[in-house]
Amino acid sequence: MIAIIGPTATGKTAVGIRLAEMIGGEIISVDSMAVYKGMDIGTAKPSPTERMMVPFHLIDVVCPDEEFSVAEFKRLADVAITDIVSRGKEPLLVGGTGLYVKALAGGLNVPLAGPDQELRESLRSEAAEFGNKHLLERLRVVDQITAERLHENDLNRIIRALEVHTLTGIPISHFHSTAGTSESAYCIRLFGLTMSREAIYKRIEQRIDEQIASGFVDEVKGLLDKGYSVDLPSMKGLGYKQIAGYFAGEYDLQTGIDLMKRDTRRFAKRQFTWYRAVPGVHWIDVEGRSADQVAEEIARG
């Protein structure tokens, strides 16, 4: 199979659609946020028109208050792959959650998450101000399994677990439960989309402006009005957390949007570092190139 990976806002979906059209493929979303129903604008899901052009799988799988693990992704992806192949189509993996690709690739040597000193210092400062127990309770919200086995005095491991979840969006317990336990039935060719930091930051700014204009603030309000807690892992996703802070009265809307842009830029920076450590990726500089051109290069490769 072909997997199209890379940092946020590099145009993976557009390239995936064009490639699927070229080779008779269907797309399996490899995105830990796109699985949530009702979270459309902030997760940059393919539009209804795009979904009519090419079939997408593993989008809108669970409600925002339901747990979704790496193991569940692999189970559903296996089913989707079998179905796609049985109909004579080509399955394409498209998305930015690298650990989901790892779950399918089995022995692929993908680093869990490298150290982020800025994030670690921030968490240590938070522990110094509010106490270790406060950080442990934060961890319990996103990774109850790890929180249950750690003591509040084990600050380094608490910080590491929070760091992994912040960097990858996936609890460290899920990684530990799957690491080195399975062999892959798939041969996966990895194509990574990249561009200069300046270009990707500009794309992030533009995309967030478009999301706000498309009603993202109302989308977050609708989720909150339905009773979805800001403490849910889904509601801590990029954009949702920052706009929820506006509705909580923590700051004005413009500040929330600015925080959304800042945190997305920081996320992209971490993704650049994370993906560069993945072996066997054929990197394609997509700056100044159309989705058609990039898809054609992948098809030839």
pLDDT score, position 62: 95
Question: What's the predicted TM-score (pTM) here?
Answer: 0.76
Q: Give the residue from 204, 203, 280 showing the smallest Cα distance to 238.
A: 204
pLDDT score, position 130: 93
Average pLDDT over residues 110-127: 77
Q: What is the band of 105 on the pLDDT scale with cuts at 50, 70, 90? A: confident
Average pLDDT over residues 275-298: 93
pLDDT score, position 207: 97
Q: Under CATH, to which class is 117-176 assigned? A: mainly alpha
Whether 115 has a pLDDT exceeding 80, the answer reads no
More confident residue, 270 or 247: 247
pLDDT score, position 109: 40
Average pLDDT over residues 102-111: 60
More confident residue, 134 or 115: 134
pLDDT score, position 219: 98
Q: What is the band of 107 on the pLDDT scale with cuts at 50, 70, 90? A: very low
Average pLDDT over residues 156-169: 84
More confident residue, 101 or 190: 190
DSSP per-residue letters across 168-237? HSS-HHHHHHHTTS---S---EEEEEE--HHHHHHHHHHHHHHHHHTTHHHHHHHHHHTT--TTSTGGGS
- Cα–Cα distances in angstroms (integers) from residue 124 to residues 14, 99, 115, 130, 264, in the given order: 40, 26, 14, 10, 22
Whether 280 has a pLDDT exceeding 90, the answer reads no
| Consecutive H or E run containing 121 | helix 117-130
How much of the chain, in percent, has pLDDT values that exceed 90? Answer: 68
| Consecutive H or E run containing 3 | strand 2-5
Summarised one tens digit per residue, pLDDT across range 25-62 is: 999 999 999 999 999 999 999 999 999 999 999 999 99
Whether 68 has a pLDDT exceeding 90, the answer reads no
pLDDT score, position 124: 92
Taking all residues of the chain, what is their mean pLDDT, rounded to a whole number? Answer: 90
Whether 278 has a pLDDT exceeding 90, the answer reads no
Whether 111 has a pLDDT exceeding 80, the answer reads no
Superfamily of domain 2-112+179-300: P-loop containing nucleotide triphosphate hydrolases (3.40.50.300)
pLDDT score, position 39: 97
**Where along the chain do its domains lie?**
2-112+179-300, 117-176
Whether 180 has a pLDDT exceeding 80, the answer reads no
2-112+179-300 and 117-176 have identical folds: no
Q: DSSP code of 36?
A: B
Residues 111-124 as b/e (b if ≥16 CB within 10 A, e otherwise) read ebbeebeebeeebe
